[in-house]
Each structure stands twice: as C-alpha cells, then as structure tokens.
Chains A and B, each alone.
Chain A
C-alpha cells in the first residue's frame, strides 16, 4: 500500500532529473552531435512515456486492488491484449533502431572524405600520442624497436625513412575547424578507447588492429579526451585534450612544431 506512493514519488523524481538536465551532455560541436541528441531525445520521450505509464500503472493496481476481504476476479488472460501489446512494443523498439541507423551509418558505413586530414593515434598505458604526416602528406615508417618514450617518440620513427623526417608528434590532438579529420588508431599494449563527449563518438583502440574513425569539429575550443576502456591501474589518469583551432592557427601550430623538432 505504502509502496504505491513511494513508486510514484520515485518516478516523478526520476522524470524531474531527466527533464531538469542538471547533469547532462556537454553541448555538441558538429552535425553528428546534433543528430545524436535528436535521436537521444526521441528515445527519451518514448522511454519516458513507457517508464512513467508502467510505474504509475503498477502503483495504481497496488493501490486499487489491495485486499479488502472480497474475492479476486478470475481470469487466465486475454489473447487480444497480448497480441496488441506485443506488436506495439515490437514496432516501437524496432522503429527506434531504424531511426538511429543513419547516425551509425554516418560514423561507420560512410568512408572518410578523400580530403580528410589523416592523424595517427597511438594509445599506450597511460598516455595518448598523435602523429601528423607533415608537408609531404606521408607518414614515415615506424618500428617498435626504435620507440623512445623518454624522447617523446612512442611511435618508433625510422630515421632512415625520409617520409618520416617531417612527421609531427604531439601529446594532444589539434584539429582545424570545419575540416574532415580521419584518425588512424593504434594501441601498443592493451585496449584503450578514444572518447570525446562533445563529438558524441567513441571507439575502442585494439592492439593488432588499425581502426579508423572520421569526424569534423565545428566549434573552436579545447575538449577533454578521457580513456574509456579499462586499461590498467592508470586508466583514470589517461587523459588528453582535443583542441579545435581555426585553420590559420592550425597551420601556424604545425609550422611551430616543425621548427621545434
């Protein structure tokens, strides 16, 4: 009996927090993020209605059908009702998946545009590194035996390969505003995960695999990148940033990095 109002209060409380958005997504910084948020809100409305109705109905039957010494009604079920709610649920749930397909396709089925800027990501316990190909547009050859973390080279650049001479290494990710970016992601040891909340995107980085993702960032700023796959004792500290810069600033930054080598 007391249970019914408790269920209602809890339900209202939960709905309040989802409506108040006190703790919520950071604002998105590209079209994918906007699409993502729209799909989230669609799902939230469907789920919110289902959740509220189910909890209120549960509370209501608890309140209404408490024992008053009388006799319970006798019914073994109702096939029409079963069919109705089975098909309604199926249509609702599958409909949501279908509506989300485009968002998933945009990230995973579509190839990165040919002019996307390639950046190699190297994740290792517990740091991030990024490599840009330099003016020649080519990544130099690398070899694990040449890795020199102390010297700031977790990739193991081969000094004999001329293509690698102009490669730029960085401990944080810098990307130009509004340009397609293609990350080519590698891990040297265990599984890590690249996650930028503002991009609404994450991807595991698996040793032995080369996993590309592509995106575009349309808002200047510095965004945090927390590792999002358990990678060992320093997992909670494995953090870098993604800085979105104007194209001019980005070119300037690259020149500076090249000069500092």
Chain B
C-alpha cells in the first residue's frame, strides 16, 4: 500500500492523447468495452448466419453470394464457410468479448477507483495492452479476407487439422496462420493486462483497504488476472509451436505416417496431437473462469447492493473465488476424456472437476443467502444479476453430467456440451456484463440508462436465451453431434430438425431484442438524465467520486477506508448503507 503518486500523470489536452492513446485507465476501460461491443456484434451476426444455414442448408441468399463469391457461390453457403463462421464466432466471442469486457473493460475502469488508486500501476503498459488487443482483432478479422478464407478448425484449433496446412481444407492456409498469429498477439496483450491488474491490486490499495475489505469484484479481477497470467503464457507458447509446425517444418503436434488429401506427409514425424490439447486446455479451462469470475463478482456486488444486505459469507465467497482459481488449473483433462489420453487420468480429472463444483455451489447458496431477508430493488442491473444466478445454476448443473467420464462417453462433442458452455460461459457471463453496464453506466458516462427499455430488454433476453440453449441439451441427449454444417446426412438427426428450427427462431428473436439495448446505450450516452455521484446508494469507493470521476479519480484527495465493502442496513445507522470511507464512530455491522 505505497503512495499512489507513482501512478499519477497529468490530464492530457490533445484529442489523440485523451481519447486514442490515452494513459487514463477510465478511457482505456471504455476503449475495451467498445472493442468488445464491436466484437460481439460480429460474433452474434456470425451465429445468426450459422443458425440460418443449419436449418436452411440449400436456400440461396443473394447477398451471401456477393459477400462470399467462392465460399457461398450462388448464395448457398458451403460447409467450409459454415465451419469458418463457427470458428470465428467461437474465437471472437471467447477472446474478444468474454475475456476483454468483464476484465479489461469494467476491471480497468472500476478496479483502480474501487481500491482508491489514481490509476493502474503501469499506465503505459495499460495503453499498450489495449492497442495490442486491437491489433489482434484486426489480424483475426483479416483472416476472413485472405485466400481460402477464415480457418475451419474451431476455436480449439486441434492439429493435425490446424497444423498440416492447406491440405486439410480451405481456410487452413493463410487464414489459419493469421488466426494463430492473432491469438499469439492477444496472449501478449492479456499478459500485459494481467501483470498490471495484479500489481495494481497488490501495490495501490489506499489506506485502510485491506484485502479482506475489498469488494468481491476486486477479488474476482485479481484471481482472473492470475489465471490470465498463467493461462495465456501457456497458450502463447503453444501458439508459437503450432506456427513452427506450420511454417518451419517442426513436428511438435504432427505425427509421422500421415496421408492427407491423397498426399503422403513425409516431412513430419514424432509429434503428438494430444500435446496441443493438453496445452490448449491448460489455458482453455481457466479461460472459462476468466470469462465467468468477473461476472460472479458483479453479481455478488449487485445482489448485496440492491437487496440492501451485506453479502452472505464474504469470507466464504473469497475462499470460493480462490479455490475456483486454483482448481481451475487442475481440471483441463475433462475436455479430453475421449481424446485417447490415459483413461486412468480421467478419474483424477473427474474427481477434481467435481471438487470445483463445490465452490461454485457455495457461491450460489451465498447469493440466495444474500437475498434472504433483503429488501430487493428491481433495477435493470439487479434483474440481470438475478438472471445471472439463474443461468449460472442452469449452466452449472449440466456440468455434473459432463464431468463424469462415464457419461461423457455419449455426451462428448454433442449439442449437450454446446448448450452447457453457452449457458454458463456465454450467456451467464454476458448477463454479468449487462448487469455491470446498467450498474456502472452512470459512473462511466455521467448519465442514467433508461430503466423501462432496460427491463423490456432484460425480460426478452432472459426468455430468449433459455429458448435458444435449453433445447440444445435435448438434441444432445438425442445424440446430435456438434460442428455439423447441416443435419441431412445422418438419418436419426432428421427428427431433430424442428427443434433446430425453434432454436433458430429463438436466436433471431433474442438478437433482435439486443437492438433495444444498443438503442438504450446510445440514447442514454447522449440524452440520459444526469447521474448523481451515488445513484444506487452504494458503499464502495467509486460512488464517493463524481460521475464521471475526474482525471485522477479522487480530485487530489487520498481516500481512507474504514470498513468492509458491504455495510448495508446496519442496525442503528442513520441510512441503510455506510460508505467504506465513513469513519468508525458510526456503528459498524458486527
């Protein structure tokens, strides 16, 4: 807890230094948010095209033919185009939306203020981290426009499909190379961000802000940063090895004795396709928690705030976050039960996987415990936090099936898996982002969002996502494999097509509902009513400063913290909340 002075820098005057190459964590946070917003628009559009193709595999759409003259010649999408869209949907959503917005977006903006710092520990590194992420996005999107188009190997990019070059399929030439390069750049950016977050939390907490007084959001950002630091380092290494296999003729992941597309592959031998899977999932499983942990933090913060009650079991929540972070690194093998790895290791991974269900369950119990006896204010932000809990339960319990190797014998790579992970790391995480948006928008932009539009958007989205993703479990139980361009070649899938049609309509409906959110965002940004410093009557430090906060956050004052983050409805207190900065003579909770 050193003086925050070394993070200080003067407010810039020029447009370029103020809005583009800004060192201010608040501007960078908004930049990340907008990058995520742009990415999510691409990601959702790709998913709509996929859903359209799955149920209309032979229908010609003129503008598709114009957009992709080869891959959708005559307006009919080819299976390789479908797989490209799928690969890019997964990649863009996981990396550029789920990883950037909750952590780099909200974390960047809110974290320094919540711990009483003037900025992140390394402002220049912070700026570089954003622009490196931006570069990664440019390279990723560029993959669409090169010879052969975007890669088709999925966001998991399993070699040999991803490692043996254009022989394995269209998109596996330059498109796949650009994909790996983009991911490697993204890893670099995330490492910079992770170091910055950790240093900031360790070093820049203001006087009195002990670790156990931090809001739970800060705990989740800290653990997410640690996961990012360890996970992205491994993915970066794996990406470099995969590039070497493709371009330098090495054989890390490519075995001998292959014959691809009638060509004998003579220049590779001795590599292991499973090595990639181990390295990838050593990153890939913690990545799930990178996406969802900040959402858990936001949900905790909001449930406490809007039920006007202290968080139930703060310490248990902190330990649950820490053990999720720790166990998150020990369960990657549950993605590989069917991979051909040693079947005995599956038992260890299964046991550890069930162990990680325990802290997740603790969190759910504590959220309900927090609401219990509260006085719930149903703001839009709170609705999204409550929706998060519901989706987290729904997405979590299907993991109890998939975590058992015995049951995975059937469910692996079916739509059951697709439904499971979309519910939990897709939709629940995005509900966390919506909750964060409605909650912090007044702080970030100085204006309130429209609550009526917000609530309409919430209800349509909540019902919509259940209609999209619950039926996926049903078709998964019926044995529907994932990553199929259409369902016309396997007889037993014919009876599932009506379910897919329903999911497609639900996807159109839900996507259309997002226009309400976009309108609300833009309208409120420009025309929303002015926000006060503390419109929700919250306790944490970001609500002690004006909305939006001044350049150095606290206007030259060094805040001092006297109490924990969730002092709501304290008996004997004059108001139903006590700010963290209120000195002690006011009676504290217990």
A contact residues vs B (CB 8 Å cutoff)? 1-3, 6-7, 10, 13-14, 17, 22-26, 36, 39-40, 43-44, 46-47, 50-51, 54-55, 57-58, 61-62, 65-79, 81-82, 85-86, 89-90, 93-94, 96-97, 100-101, 103-104, 107-109, 124-125, 144-145, 147, 149, 188-191, 193, 195, 197, 200-209, 211, 224, 226-237, 239
Contacts of A227 in B (CB 8 A): 481
B260 A73 Cβ-Cβ under 8 A: no
Check B245 for interface membership: any CB of A closer than 8 A.
Answer: no
B257 A208 Cβ-Cβ under 8 A: yes
B343 A104 Cβ-Cβ under 8 A: yes
B161 A190 Cβ-Cβ under 8 A: yes
A23 B365 Cβ-Cβ under 8 A: no
B376 A39 Cβ-Cβ under 8 A: no
Contacts of A233 in B (CB 8 A): 78-80, 83, 152, 169-170, 485
| Least CB distance, A63 to chain B, in whole angstroms | 9
Per-position binary interface string of chain B over residues 341-363, scored 1 when its CB falls under 8 Å from any chain A CB and 0 otherwise: 00110110011001101100110
In the complex, which residue of chain A has the Cβ closest to the Cβ of B339? A204
B376 A66 Cβ-Cβ under 8 A: yes
Residue of B256, B315, B397, B459 touching A50 (CB-CB under 8 A): B397
Q: Tell me the bound Cα distance from A70 to B374 in angstroms.
A: 9
Q: Tell me the bound Cα distance from A237 to B344 in angstroms.
A: 33
Q: Tell me the bound Cα distance from A237 to B403 in angstroms.
A: 29
* With known contacts A23-B477, A104-B409, A74–B569 Cβ distance under 8 A: yes
Contacts of A69 in B (CB 8 A): 375
Contacts of B264 in A (CB 8 A): 144-145
Residue of A67, A145, A207, A231 touching B375 (CB-CB under 8 A): A67
Q: List 28 A-B contacts (CB under 8 A).
A: A3-B383, A13-B470, A39-B406, A47-B398, A61-B376, A74-B309, A77-B312, A79-B313, A89-B358, A89-B362, A93-B355, A96-B404, A104-B409, A109-B344, A124-B259, A189-B168, A190-B168, A191-B273, A205-B340, A207-B160, A226-B479, A229-B413, A230-B153, A232-B152, A232-B168, A233-B78, A235-B485, A236-B487
Contacts of A2 in B (CB 8 A): 459
Contacts of B188 in A (CB 8 A): none
A58 B389 Cβ-Cβ under 8 A: yes
Contacts of A44 in B (CB 8 A): 401
Q: Tell me the bound Cα distance from A82 to B319 in angstroms.
A: 12
In the complex, which residue of chain B has the Cβ closest to the Cβ of A241? B491
Contacts of A108 in B (CB 8 A): 343, 346
Check B466 for interface membership: any CB of A closer than 8 A.
Answer: yes
In the complex, which residue of chain B has the Cβ closest to the Cβ of A109? B343
Q: Tell me the bound Cα distance from A202 to B373 in angstroms.
A: 49
Contacts of B496 in A (CB 8 A): 23
Check B65 for interface membership: any CB of A closer than 8 A.
Answer: no
User: Residue among A24, A40, A75, A103 with the most chain B CB within 10 A?
Assistant: A75
Q: Tell me the bound Cα distance from A109 to B493 in angstroms.
A: 32
| Least CB distance, B277 to chain A, in whole angstroms | 9
Contacts of B403 in A (CB 8 A): 93, 97
Contacts of A205 in B (CB 8 A): 340
Check B20 for interface membership: any CB of A closer than 8 A.
Answer: no
A65 B373 Cβ-Cβ under 8 A: yes
Other A-B pairs, 14, CB within 8 Å; known A74-B310, A90-B358, A232-B152: A24-B477, A39-B407, A61-B368, A67-B375, A77-B313, A78-B369, A79-B313, A93-B357, A145-B264, A189-B168, A191-B273, A206-B340, A207-B273, A208-B256
Per-position binary interface string of chain B over residues 404-441, scored 1 when its CB falls under 8 Å from any chain A CB and 0 otherwise: 11110110111000000000000000000000000000
Residue of A74, A85, A237 touching B361 (CB-CB under 8 A): A85
Check B527 for interface membership: any CB of A closer than 8 A.
Answer: no
Contacts of A197 in B (CB 8 A): 410, 479, 492
In the complex, which residue of chain A has the Cβ closest to the Cβ of B353? A97
A236 B484 Cβ-Cβ under 8 A: yes
B257 A97 Cβ-Cβ under 8 A: no
A66 B378 Cβ-Cβ under 8 A: yes
Contacts of B414 in A (CB 8 A): 228
Chain B 471-516 residues near chain A, CB threshold 8 A? 471, 474-475, 477-479, 481, 483-487, 489-493, 495-496, 499
Residue of B386, B412, B470, B570 touching A74 (CB-CB under 8 A): B570
| Least CB distance, B63 to chain A, in whole angstroms | 22
B354 A93 Cβ-Cβ under 8 A: yes
A101 B79 Cβ-Cβ under 8 A: no
A62 B362 Cβ-Cβ under 8 A: no
B260 A125 Cβ-Cβ under 8 A: yes
A200 B354 Cβ-Cβ under 8 A: no
Residue of A65, A107, A232 touching B376 (CB-CB under 8 A): A65
Contacts of B8 in A (CB 8 A): none
B contact residues vs A (CB 8 Å cutoff)? 78-80, 83, 152-154, 158, 160-161, 164, 168-170, 255-262, 264, 271-274, 307-316, 338-340, 343-344, 346-347, 350-351, 354-355, 357-358, 361-362, 364-366, 368-369, 371-378, 383, 386-387, 389-390, 393-394, 397-398, 400-401, 403-407, 409-410, 412-414, 459, 462-463, 466, 470-471, 474-475, 477-479, 481, 483-487, 489-493, 495-496, 499, 568-571, 576, 589-590
Q: Tell me the bound Cα distance from A247 to B523 in angstroms.
A: 73
Residue of A3, A193, A203, A235 touching B378 (CB-CB under 8 A): A3
A190 B160 Cβ-Cβ under 8 A: yes
B357 A224 Cβ-Cβ under 8 A: no
A189 B259 Cβ-Cβ under 8 A: yes
Contacts of B570 in A (CB 8 A): 74
| Least CB distance, A240 to chain B, in whole angstroms | 10
Q: Tell me the bound Cα distance from A14 to B394 in angstroms.
A: 10
B383 A54 Cβ-Cβ under 8 A: no
A193 B338 Cβ-Cβ under 8 A: yes
In the complex, which residue of chain B has the Cβ closest to the Cβ of A236? B484
A26 B479 Cβ-Cβ under 8 A: yes
User: Residue among A17, A43, A233 with the most chain B CB within 10 A?
Assistant: A233
Residue of A51, A147, A202 touching B393 (CB-CB under 8 A): A51
Contacts of B499 in A (CB 8 A): 23
In the complex, which residue of chain A has the Cβ closest to the Cβ of B470? A14
Contacts of A188 in B (CB 8 A): 258-260
B346 A104 Cβ-Cβ under 8 A: yes
Q: Tell me the bound Cα distance from A187 to B422 in angstroms.
A: 30
In the complex, which residue of chain B has the Cβ closest to the Cβ of A205? B340
* With known contacts A97-B404, A197-B410, A234–B361 Cβ distance under 8 A: no
| Least CB distance, B253 to chain A, in whole angstroms | 10
Contacts of A93 in B (CB 8 A): 354-355, 357-358, 400, 403
* With known contacts A2-B459, A200-B409, A202-B338, A86–B386 Cβ distance under 8 A: no
A6 B158 Cβ-Cβ under 8 A: no
B481 A208 Cβ-Cβ under 8 A: no
Q: Tell me the bound Cα distance from A213 to B388 in angstroms.
A: 41
Residue of B311, B354, B372, B397 touching A65 (CB-CB under 8 A): B372
Contacts of A10 in B (CB 8 A): 390, 463, 466, 470
Contacts of A26 in B (CB 8 A): 478-479, 492
